[in-house]
Homo-oligomer: A and B are copies of this chain.
Amino acid sequence: MEKPQKIRVVPRGFYSYVTSAGIKDTSLDLGVIYSEVEAQAAAVFTQNKVCGNPVKVAQRHIRQGKIQALIVNSKNSNVATGREGYEAALQLCQKVGEELSINPQRVFPASTGVIGRRFPIEKIVTAISGLKEKLVTPPDFVSFAKAIMTTDTYPKFGERSLGKAHLVGVAKGSGMIAPNMATMLAFFFTDAQLSSNQLRKILKETVKKTFNCLSIDSDTSTSDTVLVLANGLGGPVSEDEFRKNFLSLAEELTMHLARDGEGATKLFLVDVLEAKNDQEAHKIGLSIINSPLVKTAIYKGDPNWGRIFMAIGKTPGVRVVEEKIQLFWGPEKIASENLTALHKYLVENEVVHLEVRLGLGQGKARVYGCDLTEEYVRINAYYTT
């Protein structure tokens, strides 16, 4: 997979500011995106019952469907920090609002990093002092993508053109969570003219097919957030065309997140076909890509397809018929029994594709995962907080 290099055309009316607030060291750890007019907005959040204070505040602020500024920091997630952490998240929005002379409720906060450490609000407040003068346009989405990275090995972004309007997406995440230093965040910015209701519908559909089909390690972040802002300055677009482009960009970012999973060496794409229904296909797919034994087999190309059967069979609440299950690998649809060809395919390809046919119905789902390596253990065991 090729890493994204640059963004050619950006949506109108957006500004950025990216800096190091010195939360942990001098690397980039803070990014702001500002729209010169209020943008229509929609967002989805983590399902974890323990969720971050920025998530709680963002959930309140998104209710009216309008956002004008986004502020994101890495290195501290402001999770499990109690009342003080909640107040800090509010204070942050207040400060951004003052600096930009906008309603603080139009500010959307997101944080990622270690859980349970006091949020360094003073450092961030200092860093955004005089924010209005510091904003640049066209916005530097690439630096913004870098500032929100944690254990990511490369910044993740992409773009689409929709006639006169443009769409840019930025994402980060390396474990679905690594509470030290990860979480999945994705932000989309467009100057297309769409209502928050349209955005909400499209976002929900898209997330279901993309980010919710991604699992690095089966853990669920306390801070996962996906946001889309549409400021309308590029004029109206066909909803259908926007939906298609939005989905394809979200798929692209999902593939980058999976490929860059902590310690991963391979992207593992699984299509589950002929399931009883889409929901069961999705559950079986997740069971496969979350299985440590499948993930380790993918890592070193062990053609041990019995592990796939095991993972299918253990899926809670789903009936399968063992004799009907068929596995095909790669574009040449290698059958599992062909151990030599399968081993060769697994070893030689950075993107591994598995097609599972269950022979039960029309249900299907695609899921995105990665391999499990010693490096994953190293990243997560040796980090000292």
CB atoms of B376 and A307 under 8 A apart? no
Q: Tell me how far the C-beta of A172 lies from the nearest C-beta in chain B, rounded to whole angstroms.
A: 17
What's the dominant secondary structure at chain A's contact region? loop
Q: Which of A64-72, A104-112, A246-254, A290-298 contacts B (4 or more CB under 8 A)?
A: A290-298
A302 touches B80 (CB 8 A): no
Q: Is the CB of B177 within 8 A of A310?
A: yes
Q: Could you mark each residue 279-309 of chain A with 1 if its beta carbon is under 8 Å from any beta carbon of chain B, else 0?
A: 0000000000011110011011011111101
| Pick from B82, B218, B290, B299: contact of A377, CB under 8 Å | B299
Interface assignment of A49: CB less than 8 Å from any CB of chain B: yes
The minimal Cβ–Cβ distance linking A187 to chain B, given in whole angstroms, is: 22
- Any chain B CB within 8 A of the CB of A221? yes
Q: A49-B320, A293-B380, A385-B339 are in contact. Are A179 and B219 (CB under 8 A)?
A: no
Known contacts: A307-B115, A310-B177. The answer to whether A381 contacts B296 by CB under 8 A is: yes
A136 at the interface (CB under 8 A from B): no
Contacts A374-B378, A377-B373, A381-B297 given; does A79 touch B306 at CB 8 Å: yes
A35 at interface, CB cutoff 8 A: no
Q: Does A237 contact B (CB under 8 A)?
A: no
- Does A48 interact with chain B (Cβ within 8 Å)? yes
C-alpha gap A306/B114 in the complex (Å):
8
**5 nearest interchain CB pairs?**
A115-B306, A50-B313, A296-B380, A374-B374, A220-B314
Contact with B along A36-54 (1 / 0, CB 8 A): 0000000000011111000
Query: A196 — which chain B residues lie within 8 A by C-beta?
Result: none
In the complex, the answer to whether A179 meets B380 with C-beta atoms within 8 Å is: no
Q: Which of A49-99 contact B (CB under 8 A)?
A: 49-51, 77, 79-80, 82
Q: Which of A309-347 contact B (CB under 8 A)?
A: 309-315, 318-320, 322-323, 325, 336, 339
Min CB distance A322 to B, Å, is 5
Residue A140 lies at the interface, judged by CB distance under 8 Å to chain B: no
- Complex CA gap A373/B50 in Å reads 27
A82 closest partner in B (C-beta): B323
Most buried by B among A179, A309, A312: A179
| Contact among B50, B220, B309, B383 for A302, CB-based, below 8 A | B383
- Contact among B50, B297, B322 for A50, CB-based, below 8 A: B322
A331 to chain B, nearest CB (A): 23
Residue of B nearest to A180 (CB): B304
User: Do residues B293 and A179 form an inter-chain contact, with CB atoms below 8 A?
Assistant: yes
A174 to B347, CA, bound (A): 26
Most chain B beta-carbon neighbours within 10 Å: one of A219, A222, A378: A219
Q: With an 8 A cutoff between CB atoms, is A227 at the interface?
A: no
Given the interface contacts A114-B306, A179-B304, A310-B48, does A292 sit within 8 Å of B292 by beta carbon? yes
With an 8 A cutoff between CB atoms, is A355 at the interface? no
Chain B residues near A383: list those with CB within 8 A. 302, 304
Inter-chain contact A309/B377, CB cutoff 8 Å = no
A116 at the interface (CB under 8 A from B): yes
Given A51-B313, A296-B380, A302-B383, 20 other A-B contacts at CB below 8 A?
A49-B314, A49-B319, A50-B310, A50-B325, A77-B306, A79-B306, A79-B309, A177-B310, A180-B304, A217-B293, A219-B291, A219-B311, A220-B313, A220-B314, A292-B376, A297-B381, A300-B382, A302-B381, A302-B385, A304-B383
State in angstroms the CA–CA spacing of A316 and B303 once bound together.
32
102-147 of chain A: CB within 8 A of chain B: 114-116
Per-residue 0/1 for A209-233: is the Cβ within 8 Å of any B Cβ (1 yes, 0 no)? Answer: 0000000011111100000000000
